[in-house]
């Protein structure tokens, strides 16, 4: 009876040599995000980070998220450097709404077959956003799972830890009737609503990723891959403003799904839909898909990426300061008695 050849890990689809080469290639990217509080190198079992000494009563704030089916657009275009930036910026915004600034970030990338260039592109995007947001890429995990993911696909998740002084935590508890909503503009879809958007763009509109998107001046792929904004640079100088009472990151669920999360019991919000021009991208999706406006507001951010809840006497000044700094900000509405969000 002939001797059967022995198996090794590579024969099952897991290339340990490629994984080791990839890890070596990522060291420079990770090192580029180090700061004075980073105490460990890539490759340690756990990342070490010192809590900044300038905080007297530090509260750690953490969050985890993914990029969702926006990854499908990355697969279709072959462009993988933007989704890492999406991931970091989304997580930064999620802790920013509680007044926290980021300390460090961890990423998880699971692939079918290890494509060293794709992994490098994804992590390069993560590193770019970490540097832009002033947080260390402390470590992460790259897993090869050939029986779980298709050869040309991967999944991506991120984990962030930030800090805020205990007395400066934004929890919405000071929000009162009559407070003013200040809207901050988004940069497209950000990372939400892509299952519906892809259906409309690629099936109903019949566009390919390289086809021009109507009214945008870029291809469909470029329009859909616009990077999720970080609002940290714009809002960080104003976190100490006593008139700032709350922040809502407008992600999945849109304004009606996110703004109520920071409102005290018994309070709702009036959002004036005539206070901003809905960007063309959303209007095209709405018309082509025959999507009702209420559903659009519930699925997409519709051009509003962040909402600040501000004391009436400080709202105009904050909006002016944000606009002077290059932000698109405007008076969006007000807090009122009731529940949920009322559009008018």
Residue 145, class by beta-carbon neighbours within 10 Å (0-12 exposed, 13-18 middle, 19+ buried)? middle
Per-residue CA distances from 288 to 187, 192, 197, 206, 282 (Å): 20, 18, 10, 10, 10
pLDDT at position 63: 97
pLDDT at position 203: 98
Same domain, 126 and 241: no
Look up tokens 């958007």; give the residue.
197
4 within domain boundaries:
no
pLDDT at position 285: 98
Specify the CATH number for the domain of residue 112: 3.30.1330.10
CB 42 within 8 A of CB 31: yes
Specify the CATH number for the domain of residue 338: 3.90.650.10
Same domain, 311 and 204: yes
DSSP-assigned states of every residue in 236-300: GGGTT-TTEEEEEE--TTHHHHHGGGGSPTTEEEEE-GGGSPPPHHHHHHHHHHT--HHHHHHHS
299 within domain boundaries:
yes
244 within domain boundaries:
yes
Q: Which two tokens stand for residue 55?
A: 């905080």
Same domain, 86 and 152: yes
Same domain, 150 and 57: yes
Q: Are strands 136-144 and 101-111 parallel, antiparallel or unpaired?
A: parallel
Listed residues 168, 189, 205: the one ending a domain: 168
2 within domain boundaries:
no
Listed residues 145, 168, 191: the one ending a domain: 168
Same domain, 241 and 339: yes
Asked whether the CA dihedral 83, 128, 60, 236 is positive or negative, the reply is: negative
Domain coverage including residue 260:
180-343
DSSP tag of 213: P
3 within domain boundaries:
no
Long-range interactions of 33-41: CB distance < 8 A, separation 24+: 33/105, 33/127, 33/130, 33/131, 33/135, 33/136, 33/137, 34/136, 35/134, 35/136, 37/103, 37/136, 38/104, 38/136, 38/138, 40/138, 40/139
Domain count, the chain: 2
120 within domain boundaries:
yes
pLDDT at position 146: 87
Same domain, 230 and 313: yes
Asked whether the CA dihedral 153, 303, 332, 323 is positive or negative, the reply is: positive
Predicted confidence (pLDDT) per residue in 33-70, tens digit: 898 998 888 777 888 999 888 889 999 999 999 999 99
pLDDT at position 126: 97
Kindly report the pTM of this predicted structure. Answer: 0.93
Listed residues 113, 141, 168: the one ending a domain: 168
pLDDT at position 247: 98
198 within domain boundaries:
yes
CB 126 within 8 A of CB 88: yes
CB 112 within 8 A of CB 148: yes
Asked whether the CA dihedral 4, 5, 9, 15 is positive or negative, the reply is: negative
**For each of the chain's 344 residues, which pLDDT tens digit applies?**
556 666 666 666 667 666 677 667 678 888 898 989 988 887 778 889 998 888 899 999 999 999 999 999 999 999 999 999 999 999 999 999 999 999 999 999 999 888 889 999 999 999 999 999 999 999 999 988 988 988 889 999 999 999 999 999 999 999 999 999 999 999 999 999 999 999 999 999 999 999 999 999 999 999 999 999 999 999 999 999 999 999 999 999 999 999 999 999 999 999 999 999 999 999 999 999 999 999 999 999 999 999 999 999 999 999 999 999 999 999 999 999 999 999 99
Q: Which two tokens stand for residue 48?
A: 């070490």
Separation CA 49–CA 108 (nearest Å): 19
6 within domain boundaries:
no
> Count of residues for the chain?
344
């Amino acid at each position: 009876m002939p001797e059967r050849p022995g198996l090794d890990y590579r024969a099952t689809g897991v290339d340990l040599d490629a994984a080791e080469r990839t890890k070596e290639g990522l060291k420079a990217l990770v090192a580029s995000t180090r700061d004075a509080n980073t105490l460990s190198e890539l490759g340690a079992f756990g990342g070490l980070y010192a809590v900044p000494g300038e905080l007297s009563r530090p509260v750690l704030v953490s969050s985890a998220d993914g990029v969702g089916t926006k990854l499908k657009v990355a697969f279709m275009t072959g462009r993988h450097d933007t989704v890492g930036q999406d991931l970091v910026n989304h997580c930064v915004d999620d802790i920013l709404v509680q007044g926290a600034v980021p300390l460090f970030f961890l990423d998880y990338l699971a692939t079918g077959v290890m494509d060293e260039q794709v992994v490098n592109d994804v992590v390069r995007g993560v590193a770019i956003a970490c540097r832009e947001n002033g947080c260390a890429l402390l470590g992460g995990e790259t897993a090869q799972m050939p029986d779980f993911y298709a050869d040309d696909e991967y999944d991506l998740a991120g984990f962030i830890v930030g800090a805020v002084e205990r007395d400066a935590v934004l929890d919405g508890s000071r929000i009162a009737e009559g407070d003013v909503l200040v809207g901050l503009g988004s940069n497209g879809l950000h990372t939400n609503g892509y299952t519906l958007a892809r259906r409309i763009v690629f099936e109903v509109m019949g566009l390919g990723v390289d086809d021009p998107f109507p009214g945008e001046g870029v291809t469909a792929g470029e329009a859909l891959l616009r990077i999720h904004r970080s609002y940290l640079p714009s809002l960080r100088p104003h976190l100490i403003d006593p008139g700032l009472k709350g922040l809502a990151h407008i992600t999945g669920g849109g304004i009606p799904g996110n703004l109520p999360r920071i409102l005290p019991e018994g309070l709702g919000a009036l959002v004036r839909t005539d206070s901003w021009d809905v960007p063309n991208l959303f209007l095209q999706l709405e018309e082509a898909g025959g999507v009702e406006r209420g559903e659009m507001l519930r699925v997409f951010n519709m051009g509003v990426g962040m909402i600040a809840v501000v004391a009436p006497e400080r709202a105009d000044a904050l909006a002016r300061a944000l606009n002077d700094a290059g932000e698109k900000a405007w008076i969006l509405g007000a807090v009122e008695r009731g529940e949920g969000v009322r559009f008018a």
